[in-house]
Structure 1
Amino acid sequence: MKNEKRALVLGLAAVLLWSTVAVAFKLTLQEFTPIQMLTVASFVSAIVLTGICYMQGKLNQLRTTFFSNPLNYLILGLINPLAYYLILFKAYDLLPASQAQPLNYSWAITLTLMAALFLGQKIRKQDWIACALGYAGVIVIATKGDLFALEFDSPLGVILALLSTVLWAGYWILNAKNKADPVVGVLLGFIVALPFAVALSIYEGAIWEQSFQGWLAVTYVGLFEMGITFVLWLSALKATDNTGRISTLIFISPFISLLLLAYIIGETIPPSTLIGLVMIVSGLIFQQVMKPSNIDIETCKQ
């Protein structure tokens, strides 16, 4: 018998922590460039995940897992965390977080289309409805409700936010048949990405004169966007007999995030953002309820 109460607590903890990262992104980007942010947060995450693997007795799996398919783990690490987070952080740098976060949240819709394209999975009627709702919501958010003008605050920011959904979905599609321990796999991604991130920081000519508050913010990102929270989420899914019920908790995350952005950062949340987000989430919930789904996305986070 699974421990449903424990699963619920772990799931809620993960969702609440993920709800705070948009605020942490904006606070960090006040002092760090996206490349600097990626480098430091990846380093923090690698340390945390190494500690978790040590406590779980999985460190001995790192070498054997990597060398079982080194090219695969090299590609995965270059996609996530390197390319995905670099592009996501740049999108947050160019857009208000209240736009970037809901746009990135449409990754699950992107996953449905990419699974059909690359895995040959059938797109069901409910998937098409979810896609229509989701991308209509994306347009509402990106244009601030002025659909016919199609004017964006930052066209590049919108493109990058949507590109991040392609990278995240692509990462999980490549992982679809990966039988390795997921925590070990994620840690290997950070180990692969770190040298490239450091090299990019050197090439950028990064200046490390940030305040103590800035270092706290970037450490928070490494701990709770890339590291500990992923393990909490996996633990919640492992502890439950009903992954569908736990996975639906993630739908409250973007709404909590918008509230935190308004009260902590002071961002104005346009009505169009709420309308678009409701459309995206409605499509995802409809898709989730109409099981069975084509691809198991419960472990894919946000």
Structure 2
Amino acid sequence: MVKLASESGLSLPEILFWRQLPTIPIILLLLWSTGKLSQLRSKRLGQHGMRAALGIGGMFLNFGAVTLLPLAEATSFNFTSAIWAVILSALILHEKVGLWRWGAVALGFAGVLVIAQPGSGQVPVFGASVALGAAFMIALISIYIRDLTKTEGSLTIVFYFALFSLLALAILLPFFWQTKSAEQWFYLIALGVSGLLGQYLLTSALRYGSVSSVIVMDYSALIWAALLGWSLFDRLPPATTWLGAPLIVGAGLLIAWREQQLNIARNRSHTIEPS
């Protein structure tokens, strides 16, 4: 939807604004109808504001990558979020990262080089940089959301993200407003509804699963990106994408496997009773 809206002539700030707008009335209506409006009470508005600031930056990069690159390539670079998550866990959470996961990081970035083919001109350097930046932001935001879910509900997190980001995007809107065709309105409405659903599902997933496990599930997106790129934009991924993407996916799976092994070991150590 973002790529179709962009190619129809809509600007990125306006796409972002309309993607967020339906979220607030839909969530308010849902909570009101179930008598759960009190869920929106929060003592962590500052943290919600920070999450929104990170989210806006991530959305600009993520949507920008889709407009600058073919869908499959943008999606493949997006997979490096699991790799960034390892790096951030070492830098921010001071988690000890061993040889297995550092090896996965190296494997993943090797896949990036295979896809990007630096110097060949096959993939725009700027577009690839934006896509990698978007993946970095996804990893950072996932860690931040994971912390918020300790005290906040999924709908509460999504609501305040939409509220704070809309206030910021509304400042930019007058500079990018344009008269829209029926086709453009369709793209914006579809983007808003699907964006809300996707945001809710992602936030809920991060509540019930680890960051690394949830990110691994994103790998099925490459199949959808390839199918949509072929059916809507008449673009099939080149051989380098099919060679590089498995390296990135393999790195993510290796990271997920290693973290699962570490969690099992930690759980076993906690269940051992002192003699």
User: TM-score when scaled to structure 2?
Assistant: 0.83
- How many residue pairs were aligned? 260
> d(CA) in 2 for partners of 1:174 and 1:201?
27
CA contact (8 A) 1:98 1:258 kept: yes
Partner of 2:97: helix, strand, or coil?
coil
Query: Which of 274, 282, 287 is matched with 2:255 structurally?
Result: 287
CA contact (8 A) 1:98 1:269 kept: yes
Aligned: 1:228 with 2:197: yes
Of the structure 1 ranges 276-285 and 53-62, higher mean CA displacement relative to structure 2 is found in 53-62
Aligned: 1:200 with 2:195: no
* 1:27 alignment partner in structure 2: 4
Q: Which amino acid is 1:163 matched to?
A: G
Q: Which amino acid is 1:193 matched to?
A: S
Residues 101 and 249 (structure 1), Cα distance of their counterparts in 2 relative to 1, 3 Å cut: closer
* 2:267 alignment partner in structure 1: none
* 2:130 alignment partner in structure 1: 160
Instruction: Identify unmatched segments of 5+ residues in structure 2.
Output: 264-275
Instruction: State how 1:22-61 maps to structure 2 within 5 Å.
Output: 24-30=1-7, 31-55=9-33, 57-61=35-39
> d(CA) in 2 for partners of 1:159 and 1:150?
15
CA contact (8 A) 1:109 1:284 kept: yes
> d(CA) in 1 for partners of 2:99 and 2:80?
18
Aligned: 1:277 with 2:245: yes
How far did residue 55 of structure 1 move?
Answer: 4.8
Partner of 1:123: helix, strand, or coil?
coil
Instruction: State how 1:129-148 maps to structure 2 within 5 Å.
Output: 129-143=103-117
> d(CA) in 2 for partners of 1:119 and 1:274?
33
Residues 265 and 293 (structure 1), Cα distance of their counterparts in 2 relative to 1, 3 Å cut: farther
> d(CA) in 2 for partners of 1:249 and 1:27?
25
CA contact (8 A) 1:107 1:169 kept: yes
> d(CA) in 2 for partners of 1:158 and 1:152?
11
> d(CA) in 2 for partners of 1:75 and 1:245?
24
Residues 217 and 294 (structure 1), Cα distance of their counterparts in 2 relative to 1, 3 Å cut: farther
Aligned: 1:125 with 2:99: yes
Aligned: 1:172 with 2:124: no
CA contact (8 A) 1:122 1:294 kept: no
CA contact (8 A) 1:58 1:184 kept: no
How far did residue 199 of structure 1 move?
Answer: 0.8
* 2:159 alignment partner in structure 1: 187
Q: Which amino acid is 2:140 matched to?
A: G
> d(CA) in 1 for partners of 2:58 and 2:204?
24
Of the structure 1 ranges 182-191 and 90-99, higher mean CA displacement relative to structure 2 is found in 90-99
Instruction: Identify unmatched segments of 5+ residues in structure 1.
Output: 1-23, 296-302
Of the structure 1 ranges 25-34 and 244-253, higher mean CA displacement relative to structure 2 is found in 244-253
Say what the alpha-carbon RMSD is for the aligned residues: 2.9
Q: Which amino acid is 1:228 matched to?
A: L
* 1:13 alignment partner in structure 2: none
CA contact (8 A) 1:48 1:223 kept: no
> d(CA) in 2 for partners of 1:222 and 1:119?
34
Partner of 1:130: helix, strand, or coil?
helix
> d(CA) in 1 for partners of 2:161 and 2:241?
33
How far did residue 117 of structure 1 move?
Answer: 0.3
Percent of matched pairs sharing the same residue: 21
How far did residue 234 of structure 1 move?
Answer: 5.9
Residues 55 and 152 (structure 1), Cα distance of their counterparts in 2 relative to 1, 3 Å cut: farther
How far did residue 119 of structure 1 move?
Answer: 0.5
Partner of 1:175: helix, strand, or coil?
helix
Q: Which amino acid is 1:229 matched to?
A: G
> d(CA) in 1 for partners of 2:66 and 2:213?
30
Partner deviation per Cα, 1:56-96 (whole Å, 9 max, x = no partner): 5442122x21xx1222111111111x111112222222222
> d(CA) in 2 for partners of 1:152 and 1:209?
35
Instruction: State how 1:210-225 maps to structure 2 within 5 Å.
Output: 210-224=180-194
Q: Which amino acid is 2:3 matched to?
A: K
Structure number with the bigger relative contact order (C-alpha 8 A, sep ≥ 6) is: 1
How far did residue 25 of structure 1 move?
Answer: 2.0
How far did residue 245 of structure 1 move?
Answer: 8.7
Residues 239 and 186 (structure 1), Cα distance of their counterparts in 2 relative to 1, 3 Å cut: closer
